Amino acid sequence: MPEASLFRVAPGARVETPVCRLAQEVARLKGKKRAGLAFLLGVCAAAALSPIDLVPLVFIAFPGLLWLEEGSEGGWASFGLGFLFGFGFFLAGMYWVAAALFVDIARFWWLLPFAAAGLPAAMALYSGLCLWAAHFLRTRFGLPPAARVLAFAVLWSGLEWVRGHAFTGLPWNLIGYVWAGGFPGSLALLQSVAFIGIYGLSFITVLAASLPALLGAPSLAPMSRARRSAPAIASLALILLPAALGALRLEASPTVYTNTRLRLVQPSIPQSLKWDSARFEANLRRLLQLSAEPSRHRPAAIIWPEAAVTIPLRRDPAERKALAAVAPKGGVLLTGAIRTDRPPAPPRHFWNSLEAIDGKGKILAHYDKVHLVPFGEYVPFHRYLRFLPLKKITAGSVDLSPGKGRRTIALPGLPPFAPLICYEAIFPGAVVDENARPDWLLAISNDAWYGKSSGPYQSFEMARARSVEEGLPLVRVANNGISGVVDASGRVLTHTDLDAIGYVDFVLPAPGPRTLYERAGDWIFFALLFVAIFAVALKIG
């Protein structure tokens, strides 16, 4: 079957617009200019994410990438373009990962190239594979232009799903998250994840952002203005229609509050001091002082961030007594802590945990983090790689152990909640116990590793998307920000600034109705892909 071409000029074709000429110039680029543009387009796509939130840039980045691919002379050339685009995207979007190493750069300096460039390069393999597959479909089946764009959106979003699940998964900075930030009107479009999930929103976004590439196609005959504008109109419709429906959903779902009052505490303790035994008492004193500040209304719970307590509380009655002193009367203190085997057994296992402590110093409940960070909290295949100088970058020489699974915690005076620790909040469809739906999500994190980077902002926005997907309010408490409260529709009701020291008293929002995504999960996304693949197959046939 002959190869379909979007931007190469056939005999008799008319180069009618400046966009057509631009598309052809981009497709003809060679060498360093071609590689450099692919990289820069990836950086542009990353700038659409929080905290920069320049969403219109994706409508430049993806058409530019498709125009570049048109000039590829083979599958490996297309793979290289996709890789460079992805490398720019992940380098700009995940540079903050390397910042964690500077907390103890004397020990981990040798890991800096792997964190700064190795991780983005690994993630870029997915975008390279996406463009290789797009090239294969174009050359093998001669896909017409519209089908080619549709196939590209299927490939990109499908590989995002794979990235979110393969090798423990890292669904960071999916394209759908461009609508989770502060771009005007983005919250209306974010409502789509209540039905199709974040992967479905990625599919819609990539499709809408890629359709303008068709504006660069030359034609064999004069076109009417309406026909020439069809790709732009379709792109706008894919954005405006879900946004309009989302606006109606927001209008029909105002914020409703419960009678439960809570206090979140953000101590902003520098990571370099957090695990310093000489600073333990000073760090704890800051948390206790912020918790003891007077309030007009007594909270049902005071919430501290991840690993706020850096000693095993079960083995230290004196510290439990100190914490019990600030627990609200009849309420609890919820704190991140390091948990170990119950005494008198020796401490052989360690968990990154959330523990609930009452006014008598009794630990009423706990949750152990299930999804641990590779190399951050454990070294994969450690038993087989003991001959290598590989150590986790968090404190301690022993790998943390994973918890047994998601759970819903019910405590006196509190609506039942689903605890999430650190990056557990970035995994769609995996944040609650399916057999015991909670009334709210509690995400505790540290984030002090990442300084004044984009990492804490991105973490908050991704957790916000989980709130809309599940139809549940979210309380996020981080050591140095961003902490805040989000209602069941994703409205940010209050939040702290990065590195702020303080506390926030608030009334817990009520849960919303169960969402379609909460019921069906990613099957809705798979159905979208099936319909799109069927449409592409019809064009092939």
Q: Are residues 119 and 224 in the same domain?
A: yes
Do residues 432 and 394 touch, judged by C-beta distance below 8 A? no
pLDDT of residue 2: 42
**Is 517 a member of any domain?**
no
pLDDT higher than threshold 70 for residue 95: yes
Q: Are residues 391 and 433 in the same domain?
A: yes
Q: Are residues 140 and 85 in the same domain?
A: yes
Question: Which structural domain, as residue segments, surrounds residue 105?
Answer: 18-252+522-540
Q: Are residues 182 and 219 in the same domain?
A: yes
CATH label of the domain that carries residue 498: 3.60.110.10
**Is 332 a member of any domain?**
yes
Element housing 445 (H / E): strand 440-445
Residues that are catalytic: 306, 369, 422
Query: Global pTM?
Result: 0.94
Element housing 138 (H / E): helix 119-141
Answer left, alpha or beta for residue 301, where phi above 0 means left and psi between -120 and 50 means alpha: beta
pLDDT of residue 388: 60
Q: Are residues 233 and 281 in the same domain?
A: no
**Is 10 a member of any domain?**
no
Q: Are residues 243 and 271 in the same domain?
A: no
Q: Are residues 100 and 206 in the same domain?
A: yes
**Is 386 a member of any domain?**
yes
State what percent of residues in the chain have pLDDT above 70.
Answer: 92
pLDDT higher than threshold 80 for residue 140: yes
Query: pLDDT-derived band of residue 11, with 50, 70 and 90 as boundaries?
Result: low
Mean pLDDT, range 241-251, rounded to an integer: 98
Residue among 122, 91, 108 nearest 375 (CA): 108
Q: Are residues 487 and 533 in the same domain?
A: no
- 62 Cβ partners below 8 Å, 6+ apart? 45, 206, 209, 210, 213
Mean pLDDT, range 338-344, rounded to an integer: 90
**Is 12 a member of any domain?**
no
Query: pLDDT-derived band of residue 222, with 50, 70 and 90 as boundaries?
Result: low
Q: Are residues 480 and 534 in the same domain?
A: no
What integer best gives the mean pLDDT of the chain?
A: 92
Count: domains in the chain: 2
Q: Are residues 483 and 364 in the same domain?
A: yes
pLDDT of residue 366: 97
Q: Are residues 200 and 218 in the same domain?
A: yes
**Is 102 a member of any domain?**
yes
Q: How far apart (Å, rounded) are the C-alpha atoms in residues 169 and 129? A: 17
**Is 9 a member of any domain?**
no
Hey, CA dihedral for 518, 486, 339, 415, is it positive or negative?
A: negative
Query: How many residues are present in the chain?
Result: 541
Q: Are residues 391 and 298 in the same domain?
A: yes
**Is 373 a member of any domain?**
yes
**pLDDT tens-digit series, residues 394-404:** 766 688 999 99
Mean pLDDT, range 304-329, rounded to an integer: 94
